[in-house]
Amino acid sequence: MQINKVGVIGAGQMGNGIAHVCALAGFQVLLNDVSKDKIEAGLATINGNLSRQVKSGKITEAQRDGALKNIGAAPSYEDFGACDLVIESAVEDEAVKRKIFTAVCPHLSDTAVLGTNTSSISITRLAASTDRPEKFMGIHFMNPVPLMELVELIRGIATDEQTFNSVKEFSLHLKKTIAVAEDFPAFIVNRILMPMINEAVYTLYEGVGNVEAIDLSMKLGAHHPMGPLELADFIGLDTCLSIMQVLYEGLADSKYRPCPLLVKYVEAGWLGRKTNRGFYDYRGEKPVPTR
């Protein structure tokens, strides 16, 4: 099945990144979110990020203009009627995602494939809230989408081979490299990455090191490009906590218990870069550690 038109639900950091790379690769893209303002903000971010790519010589002005022409706003699911593929990238909350799938399915063509960018939630369980489990799968992009090479592909129990092959072709067309993961909590990348980030928060919570020492240790001592707390702020602490909860509940093992300090930051609304405060405070000229 040929994919030409792509719908994206959620215009946050991942949704706008997915729309960005799809439009640049020549797909027609429609972007949806809960309000027109959120869609506009997503489109403005894409515009800014494309301009940055022109400035750094990664793409030409003509490619930027072409990409912008390929993207439109879709305030309503009715706009998705002609989409061959719709990718859900709303918040990491199973109830929200299930509600979206129930609402969007009646507006999709019979042949449309539905994907989710979930970081951790069961593809099989999400598929069960759609009218097309065989045309449903996990398409897990990495952050920031325009820079990161990998896409994890996850089949649900019912995903058919045609769907998998179409999404694989689509991902390769975006010039991404794919890794196939089985449908277990948090798949491959976050099964490994998120417990490390959670452990970094425990290290902070127990006073083993402060924010600066922990990030410095992992950057200079383990050659990680970003410290784990810096990375958590970049991902979004709400997303990190949701993933740890999925791991904890899904694998029923206390080693995945979310650190109480991570819970506290999320309860405070200190979600990282997107709210200007997390393990670092981003409101000044330079990020300042909050502990």
Ligand X SMILES: NC(=O)c1ccc[n+]([C@@H]2O[C@H](COP(=O)([O-])OP(=O)(O)OC[C@H]3O[C@@H](n4cnc5c(N)ncnc54)[C@H](O)[C@@H]3O)[C@@H](O)[C@H]2O)c1
Read off the amino acid at residue 142: M
190 annotated active-site: yes
* Distance, CA of 114 to CA of 86 (rounded, Å): 5
- Residue from 16, 120, 122, 152 carrying the catalytic annotation: 152
Q: Which is nearer to ligand X, 1 or 189 (CB)?
A: 189
Q: Is residue 199 classed exposed, middle or buried when 0-12, 13-18 and 19+ CB atoms within 10 A define those classes?
A: middle
- Residue from 117, 119, 171, 242 carrying the catalytic annotation: 119
Residue 165 in tokens: 């092959």
Q: Which is nearer to ligand X, 53 or 89 (CB)?
A: 89
Q: Which is nearer to ligand X, 84 or 233 (CB)?
A: 233
How far, in Å, are 219, 220, 225 from residue 216 at the CA level? 5, 6, 10
- Residue from 32, 190, 198, 242 carrying the catalytic annotation: 190
182 annotated active-site: no
Residues contributing to the site for ligand X (CB under 6 A)? 9-15, 32-34, 38, 89-92, 96, 100, 117-119, 140-141, 143, 235-236, 239, 274
Burial 2-21 (b: 16+ CB within 10 A, else e): ebebbbbbbbbbbbbbbbbb
**Other CB atoms within 10 Å distance of the CB of residue 36:** 10
217 annotated active-site: no
Q: Which is nearer to ligand X, 54 or 196 (CB)?
A: 196
Q: Which residue's CB comes closest to ligand X?
A: 12
Shortest Cβ distance from residue 65 to ligand X (Å)?
25
Is 138 in contact with 115 (CB distance < 8 Å)? yes
199 annotated active-site: no
Shortest Cβ distance from residue 87 to ligand X (Å)?
10
Q: Which is nearer to ligand X, 3 or 197 (CB)?
A: 197
Is 137 in contact with 167 (CB distance < 8 Å)? yes
Helices and strands counted in the chain (H then E): 11, 10
* Distance, CA of 27 to CA of 174 (rounded, Å): 10
Is 249 in contact with 120 (CB distance < 8 Å)? no
Shortest Cβ distance from residue 177 to ligand X (Å)?
15
Shortest Cβ distance from residue 20 to ligand X (Å)?
12
Shortest Cβ distance from residue 92 to ligand X (Å)?
4
- Residue from 20, 88, 120, 140 carrying the catalytic annotation: 140
What residues are annotated to the active site? 119, 140, 152, 190
